[in-house]
Amino acid sequence: MKSFRSAILLALLVGLCIGGAAPARAGSGTPEDPWIIGMSQCNLAEPWRAQMNKDIADAAAAHPEVRAIFKDAQNDTLVQRQHIEEFVNQGVDVLLVSPKEAVPLTEPVARAYQAGIPVMVLDRRIMGDQYTTFIGADNKLIGQAVGRWIARQTGGTGNIVELKGLMTSTPGQDRHSGFLKGIEGTDLKVIFEADMEWLEPKARQEMESALARFPDIDVVYGHNDPAAHGAYLAARAAGRADEMIFVGIDALPHEGKRYVEEGILDASFEYPTGGREAVATAVEILLGKEAPKEIVLPSRFFTADNVKDNGLWLEEAGLIDMPGEEPSNLEPNQPVIEERLRIGEEVGEDIKELPTD
């Protein structure tokens, strides 16, 4: 009985310590005791994410006052939620998160932010405004630029296969809606679309189905370069690669850009990782400066014509209207919100009740 009572007392004390105060800070910003930047990466199996982590590690290495530590959720949302909680309990000085999907990661990010940790969301968005800074390129504008470029290349007519990124992540949604806007008013038609979840093997499989069903395919639009490459391999295996053009997004030097140089892809649109900007902004925040809520990164594109000159900016090529315009993906995105509520229910949390400040 006595030990039961002391166990309760201990639990209460621990509860008070954990629940009560803001988390202790990890470092003090000196080379001997650096500030800790915790980076929650949703998945490291793709080259683009390996590049993002490398950009963060390289940028942090140039700042002896910070140290970056990494966790890889291996494309598992629940594991990523857990990683974020671990970083919060550890009391990292800044948290970076590149979330797998918007809805289920909203809540743990909001809790980290409310615990007083500056949180920077990278590349894929979460819902609401419970984070310090978002850094990423404008996926709606990129999607729109892809659409306009394809319209120019094809004279505005033809059949398109669209291999979409994970549609519970905001880049997948925005690259799709932006693209539809880009081909608006043309005779281009999306005859087949599938969610390849950002994965090359899945894209290849979906392309095999598209090839089996459609004798006339003029364009493949992959939401990332692995998808466009997977589709190319499927078309080549079917002896049909020469009948169509292949367009992807990311343009890593050793991936999409190289595919363009090799004539595998007809175009690749750059999707900067934001890793360096994230560290620079984290350092500013740690030095007590105010960070902007949104940092929108510009994007280039590469084709056989311009790849030797290191690509062209989308504005330069007239593929987006107004440089400096408000980023188009700041508006509330209804399908994402609905998805948020649905998945929120599934994982047993009431997102509608999330405290806002």
Please report, as ranges, the residues that interact with ligand FRU according to CB under 6 A. 43, 46, 48-49, 123-124, 165, 169, 171, 198, 224, 249-250, 271
Residue placing its CB nearer to ligand FRU in the complex, 143 or 171? 171
| Other beta carbons within 10 Å of 218 | 18
Residue placing its CB nearer to ligand FRU in the complex, 53 or 169? 169
Min separation Cβ 213 and ligand FRU, Å:
25
Min separation Cβ 9 and ligand FRU, Å:
47
Taking CB atoms within 8 Å and a gap of at least 24, the contacts of 280-288 are 280/59, 281/120, 281/133, 281/135, 282/37, 282/66, 282/94, 282/96, 282/118, 282/120, 283/63, 283/65, 283/66, 285/94, 285/118, 285/132, 285/133, 286/29, 286/35, 286/65, 286/66, 286/93, 286/94, 286/118
Dist. CA 269–CA 261, nearest whole Å? 14
Residue placing its CB nearer to ligand FRU in the complex, 147 or 158? 147
Strand partners, 136: 296
Residue placing its CB nearer to ligand FRU in the complex, 99 or 108? 99
Min separation Cβ 249 and ligand FRU, Å:
6
Dist. CA 260–CA 256, nearest whole Å? 6
Min separation Cβ 43 and ligand FRU, Å:
6
Nearest alpha carbon to residue 281 among 131, 139, 141, 169:
131
Dist. CA 77–CA 346, nearest whole Å? 13
Residue placing its CB nearer to ligand FRU in the complex, 252 or 283? 252
Min separation Cβ 126 and ligand FRU, Å:
13
Residue placing its CB nearer to ligand FRU in the complex, 158 or 226? 226
Dist. CA 237–CA 220, nearest whole Å? 15
In this structure, what token pair is assigned to residue 265? Answer: 């892809």
Distance of CA 182 to the CA centre of its chain: 21
Min separation Cβ 41 and ligand FRU, Å:
9
Nearest alpha carbon to residue 80 among 36, 23, 122, 39:
39
Residue placing its CB nearer to ligand FRU in the complex, 218 or 250? 250
Strand partners, 334: none
Fill in the amino acid letter for 247: V
